[in-house]
Structure 1
Amino acid sequence: MTSVNVFVTNNTYIDFDVFGHWLNGLTVHEAVQARLQSGILQSTGASPDMLQSDTLDNYRTFSLLERFLQSPPKLATQVLLQIPAAVQRTLIEKYYDFDSAVIREILGKKLTNRHRKDVDDVSERTNIRLRSCRRQYDNCKNIFKTVEDMEGSLVNNISGHFLLPEKLAKRYAAIVFFSNNRFETGKKKLQYLSFDDFAYCADLMIHNWTFGAADSQADDMDVEMDRVFLQELRDLKVLTGEKDVYEKHKGLVCSALRGKIPDPTYADIESNFKNLSRCIVSVASGLIHSKELKDFFVDLVEKFIEPCRNARWSKRDVEAFLKAYEAAIQQIPQLKRYQPHLLTVWTRYMTTLKKCILQLYHS
């Protein structure tokens, strides 16, 4: 006779309110107090001892699940707990969700174990519990280490390996992109910018300036900047370096804006066109160097956004100028005849730069 051992269990019930307390770094005692304040005893008829026991049981379950959540595909194959697929998806999404304030503090920094100690300061500055900050940092580090050397779409790689919805995967793609390229985000001049501001720009840069950009002929990678494109940007110095090209460009821009923006703004553009143009071109030509690439956002704010704000340009004025500035290049005969490739490079550069500046242009 053959002997067979059979183990039968019901689906594991996940209390997502308690899960939220666990994710936020509350202790069991603090979670019990939070549940008491919510009026759960009155609504369920449970006793304080039952609530304590239930909360502790939930915390044990979450601790057991955490090692699977750190590698989400394993959650579906583990046999310790029976969890419906829809509940698994919710668990993963909530576990990898993050506080923008926390990520804003670590954005652009190297995600290593050595820098993990800085999370203590992040917790103090954001008033978010240390345990929660550590989870968020470790999730970023885990995703970065997993996908940094992969070819293909960064968003698809993150979504595929961590089973995240596209919207959340795109936010992590921005974190990976910033960490890989070490963009400076901590300077005082940049403190007014939010994580969402940087994430918006990262998405544009990934889709237009990396090896994985649609118009790039290089290997399909979304983490590394397209070095060929960055090298070609140096040729844009012709816009400020050759007098007839510069004068023609200025004339076309001013003609397009005359009567369409406030007179003080128009006068400022006319008198400061060289400085404005030099900023846009110097940022482009400097991106081939790692230091200038790292300071991309610092340069935009210091050299373009702050002067325009000081001159009291409205966001609409900035948009009008950038549109006219970009379009005028297509009408310069010298470039159309002798350097037509620059027009393609110019469009690829300005499509992203224009939207980045407008995103960053706020108080």
Structure 2
Amino acid sequence: MQDNSLYSADVKMSVELDVFVGNTTIMDKEVYQLWLNGYTVNDAVKFRIEGGVMEECEASAEVLLSDTMDQYRTFQMCERLLHHPAKLANQLLFQIPPDRQAMLIERYYAFDDSFVREVLGKKLSKGTKKDLDDVSLKTGITLKSCRRQFDNFKRVFKVVEELKGPLVENIRQHFLLPDQLAGDYAAIVFFANNRFETGKKKLLYLTFQDFAFCAGQLINNWTVGAVDNMMEDMDVDLDKEFLQDLKDLKILITDKDLLDQHKSLVCTALRGKTNVFNEMEANFKNLSRGLVNIAAKLINAKDVRDFFIDIVEKFIEPCRSDKWTSIDVNLYLTHYTNSVHILDTFKYHAVWTRYMGVIKSCILRMYHD
């Protein structure tokens, strides 16, 4: 009996020391991930046992349960600080080394691609949050984790939507996130602000990273911040002046002489360089009308929302049906873009370059052979 009581006292003492103010706070990365994933304490203990932690530490199930509960309490107490990561470094309650702070923040703001794919482009509102039960069932991600990820998106959106300066940099500085993660959050904010449609059946083959890449292209080239880096909402709103100027590109499809000249230049450059030349030549006018009409309609909010659907329907699907490879697409778009600058009566070179640079990059990313 005496030995058992001493063992209990030792266990109690070790638990007290784990959370003792003044000592480095012990945080197990595996347990933290289980907490982030939304598992209960009991489920977390099962995962730890299955992972062989009892053999490694020579601990009993009771000790493991106590340790897991203690760490869960610590994470819950830290959570309010993680909502404002800069506060984590300045608080005195937990002694957490800087490298461990960085790990806590990065993992807290990390998200599942399958989850973000379900909510990308939707309004970050209570209505969307109510649908998270369905998202949880569909993705297999716990509801608690879905809510944490959604609340993180909403929190970042609210903080940065009022800030001047580069969107990615603002997110990185205010939430202390690494560059890649800050860039991903910039894409999420940008999509939520512009309400791009991403959920239609034709777009389901696209991954979050496909959309994030395209968002980066749009942010860096089509927003107000692309021309003035201290404007309000610089990286969130599309440059309306630029969108208005895109209407001028319609001359490429309404002026028959220009359309014919453009086709002749492109086909001359492509002849003998691809196995689908006949298809390129036959479909030139339809493809050109598709690309130019996308540009001309972007001044309308609804057409901005349908941007990715239009790209798929008006360019990607016709090319796929004619069995173009990614190399064919790249070759075609390169000559299609460059040859416009040779047209004598075409005057809108800067607008064309700004438009086609983004369109070409997005199509090449979205064109999965």
TM bracket, shorter-chain basis: over 0.9
Aligned to 1:225, what secondary structure does the other structure show?
coil
Q: Is the 8 A contact 1:249 1:328 kept in 2?
A: yes
Aligned to 2:131, what secondary structure does the other structure show?
helix
Residue matched to 1:219: 231
1:272 aligns with 2:245: no
Measured in 2, the distance between the counterparts of 1:234 and 1:268 equals 28
Alpha carbons of structure 1 residues 187 and 41: separation in structure 2 relative to 1, 3 Å: same
Choose the corresponding residue for 2:173, options 160, 163, 176.
160
1:257 aligns with 2:263: no
Identity of aligned residues (%): 53
> Deviation of residue 218 (structure 1)?
8.3
Q: Is the 8 A contact 1:108 1:184 kept in 2?
A: yes
Measured in 2, the distance between the counterparts of 1:362 and 1:260 equals 21
Choose the corresponding residue for 2:109, options 96, 100, 104.
96
> Deviation of residue 31 (structure 1)?
0.3
1:197 aligns with 2:203: no
Q: Which amino acid aligns with 2:366?
A: L
Q: Is the 8 A contact 1:216 1:226 kept in 2?
A: no
> Deviation of residue 269 (structure 1)?
1.5
Choose the corresponding residue for 1:308, options 319, 325, 331.
319
Q: Is the 8 A contact 1:183 1:295 kept in 2?
A: yes
> Deviation of residue 112 (structure 1)?
1.3
Q: Is the 8 A contact 2:81 2:87 kept in 1?
A: yes
Alpha carbons of structure 1 residues 22 and 284: separation in structure 2 relative to 1, 3 Å: same
Measured in 1, the distance between the counterparts of 2:237 and 2:322 equals 36
1:329 aligns with 2:329: no
Measured in 1, the distance between the counterparts of 2:42 and 2:344 equals 74
Q: Is the 8 A contact 1:211 1:218 kept in 2?
A: no
Q: Which amino acid aligns with 2:237?
A: E
TM-score, scaled to structure 2: 0.93
Q: Which amino acid aligns with 1:274?
A: K
Residue matched to 2:329: 318
Write out per-residue CA displacement over residues 39-81 of structure 1, whole angstroms, 9 at most, x where no aligned residue.
Answer: 1111111111100100000000000000110111111122221
Residue matched to 2:134: 121
Aligned to 1:334, what secondary structure does the other structure show?
coil
Measured in 1, the distance between the counterparts of 2:280 and 2:241 equals 32
Q: Is the 8 A contact 2:21 2:94 kept in 1?
A: no
Aligned to 1:169, what secondary structure does the other structure show?
helix
Residue matched to 2:30: 17
Residue matched to 1:31: 44
1:62 aligns with 2:75: yes
> Deviation of residue 271 (structure 1)?
1.4
Aligned to 1:312, what secondary structure does the other structure show?
coil
> Deviation of residue 219 (structure 1)?
2.5
Which segments of 5 or more consecutive residues in structure 1 lack a partner in the other structure? 1-6
Q: Which amino acid aligns with 1:151?
A: K
1:131 aligns with 2:144: yes
Write out per-residue CA displacement over residues 260-300 of structure 1, whole angstroms, 9 at most, x where no aligned residue.
Answer: 011xx211121111100000100011111101111000000
> Deviation of residue 208 (structure 1)?
0.4
> Deviation of residue 217 (structure 1)?
8.6
Measured in 2, the distance between the counterparts of 1:164 and 1:353 equals 29
Measured in 2, the distance between the counterparts of 1:216 and 1:226 equals 10
1:181 aligns with 2:194: yes
Measured in 2, the distance between the counterparts of 1:244 and 1:225 equals 32
Measured in 2, the distance between the counterparts of 1:232 and 1:25 equals 49
**Matched length:** 349
Q: Is the 8 A contact 2:164 2:230 kept in 1?
A: no
